[in-house]
Amino acid sequence: MIAKIEQLLKEVEALKASNAEELEALRIKFLSKKGAINDLMADFRNVPAELKKEVGMRLNELKDKAQDKINVLKEQFENQDNSCDGLDLTRSAYPIKLGTRHPLTIVKNEVIDIFARLGFSIAEGPEIEDDWHVFSALNFAEDHPARDMQDTFFIEAQPDVVLRTHTSSVQSRVMEVTQPPIRIICPGRVYRNEAISYRAHCFFHQVEALYIDKDVSFTDLKQVLLLFAKEMFGADTKIRLRPSYFPFTEPSAEMDISCNICGGKGCPFCKHTGWVEILGCGMVDPNVLKANGIDSKVYSGYALGMGIERITNLKYQVKDLRMFSENDTRFLKEFEAAY
Ligand SMILES: [Zn+2]
């Protein structure tokens, strides 16, 4: 009987199970009522009295070891099961924080989306430009103050090369190589020789739109402006146009919208006028069409342009322009859910 117990002990030590079914089969084989150990227990009464003590101890040892071994194997399966249960194995092992879009990018994309729905396509051009595309092709007189060193970054060795002061330079680049109909939107960074403060920066961002075709009128422009204002600031938004002057448009206007903070009632943000200025616009000056090779007797068009920082301020009340370029993650994090 001792020999039989020894053999079963060896078997128990070597037990292996690769799944729950195999483990259950082992349990039945060793520990069930009809299992090997119970059979030995049943034979115990036939063991001679002088051997009973030793056989009894060995038998108990076998029973404990078999139970322990099966518990250990069972635990392994349970741990494996737990480790897979409800887990997404495609997830990264480490938590990765998603970045946020910059508020200026959010607003730029929103403006582009609105104009894209009207059939405008995006046009881009160089930030380092020549005098022709930034000024001359856009009807700036030789002595226009914008050409002054005070306003524009020139490159000393090459006075003809400037950092563009507006994205209108992209309009002239498109016009000189494209015959109408032209329907473009030009987003981009521009540069002015300004002292940096909370309300001015040496670089900022613009979006301009240009539409040239036969019979384009100021009415078309006004409809697009109204639609843009409502899409951007809400369906209740009202607009008003004030006469203005730009070298490249005639007539020119500046557009105000009803203050989106007080709804037009008057508040500190709109200086209690109920209106805030958001963009400049007008009909493309025939001189600009001529300078860029478009027949001004056949075609007419409108242009409009706005500062992205300005629109972002209106939407999110960012009081200090410098925050846009400081990359302070606490500021950027506030726009996490914006788009
Ligand atoms: Zn207001």
Q: Is the pLDDT of residue 82 over 70?
A: no
**How much distance in Å is there from the Cα of 103 to the middle of ligand 1?**
22
- Residue 17: pLDDT band by 50, 70, 90 thresholds? confident
**How much distance in Å is there from the Cα of 316 to the middle of ligand 1?**
14
The CATH number of 103-335, from 3.40.50.2000, 3.40.640.10, 3.30.930.10, 3.90.25.10, is 3.30.930.10
Q: In the prediction, which pLDDT does 330 show?
A: 87
Arithmetic mean of pLDDT, 4-24: 83
Contact indicator for 104, 309 with CB cutoff of 8 Å: yes
Lowest mean pLDDT among 61-70, 120-129, 180-189, 288-297: 61-70
Q: What is the mean pLDDT of the chain?
A: 88
Contact indicator for 243, 255 with CB cutoff of 8 Å: no
**How much distance in Å is there from the Cα of 118 to the middle of ligand 1?**
29
**How much distance in Å is there from the Cα of 319 to the middle of ligand 1?**
15
Arithmetic mean of pLDDT, 141-146: 77
CB atoms within 10 A of CB 17: 18
Q: In the prediction, which pLDDT does 70 show?
A: 85
Lowest mean pLDDT among 20-29, 237-246, 280-289: 20-29
Q: Is the pLDDT of residue 185 over 80?
A: yes
Residue predicted with more confidence, 34 or 338: 34
User: Where are the chain's structural domains?
Assistant: 2-79, 103-335
**How much distance in Å is there from the Cα of 107 to the middle of ligand 1?**
20
**How much distance in Å is there from the Cα of 66 to the middle of ligand 1?**
82
Tens-digit pLDDT profile for residues 151-167: 788 777 777 898 999 99
Tens-digit pLDDT profile for residues 193-230: 888 888 888 899 999 999 999 999 999 999 999 999 99
Q: Is the pLDDT of residue 149 over 70?
A: no
Q: Is the pLDDT of residue 83 over 70?
A: no
- Residue 14: pLDDT band by 50, 70, 90 thresholds? confident
CB atoms within 10 A of CB 231: 17
- Residue 34: pLDDT band by 50, 70, 90 thresholds? confident
**How much distance in Å is there from the Cα of 333 to the middle of ligand 1?**
26
Residue predicted with more confidence, 226 or 77: 226
First-to-last alpha carbon distance for the chain, in angstroms, is: 79
Asked if residue 124 belongs to a known ligand binding site, the reply is no
Q: Is the pLDDT of residue 295 over 90?
A: yes
pTM of the predicted model as reported, rounded to 2 decimal places? 0.69
Q: Is the pLDDT of residue 124 over 80?
A: yes
Contact indicator for 152, 203 with CB cutoff of 8 Å: no
| Placement of tokens 């306003």 in the chain | 151
- Residue 180: pLDDT band by 50, 70, 90 thresholds? very high
Arithmetic mean of pLDDT, 246-257: 94
Integer CA distances (angstroms), 167 to 10, 105, 148, 188, 299, in order: 86, 16, 18, 6, 22
Residues facing residue 186 across a β-bridge = 208
**d(C-alpha 121, C-alpha 183), whole Å:** 7
**How much distance in Å is there from the Cα of 258 to the middle of ligand 1?**
8
**How much distance in Å is there from the Cα of 332 to the middle of ligand 1?**
25
Tens-digit pLDDT profile for residues 272-289: 999 999 999 999 999 999
- Residue 86: pLDDT band by 50, 70, 90 thresholds? confident
**How much distance in Å is there from the Cα of 276 to the middle of ligand 1?**
8
**How much distance in Å is there from the Cα of 75 to the middle of ligand 1?**
68
List all residues 6 or more positions away from 98 whose beta carbon is below 8 Å from its beta carbon.
none
Tens-digit pLDDT profile for residues 35-66: 888 888 888 888 888 888 888 888 888 889 88
Q: Which of 53, 129, 31, 104 is nearest to 306 (CA)?
A: 104
Q: In the prediction, which pLDDT does 338 show?
A: 64
- Residue 81: pLDDT band by 50, 70, 90 thresholds? low
**How much distance in Å is there from the Cα of 249 to the middle of ligand 1?**
29
Q: In the prediction, which pLDDT does 191 show?
A: 92
The one-letter amino acid at 55: V
Q: In the prediction, which pLDDT does 80 show?
A: 65
Q: In the prediction, which pLDDT does 184 show?
A: 96
Token pair for residue 139?
A: 């009807």
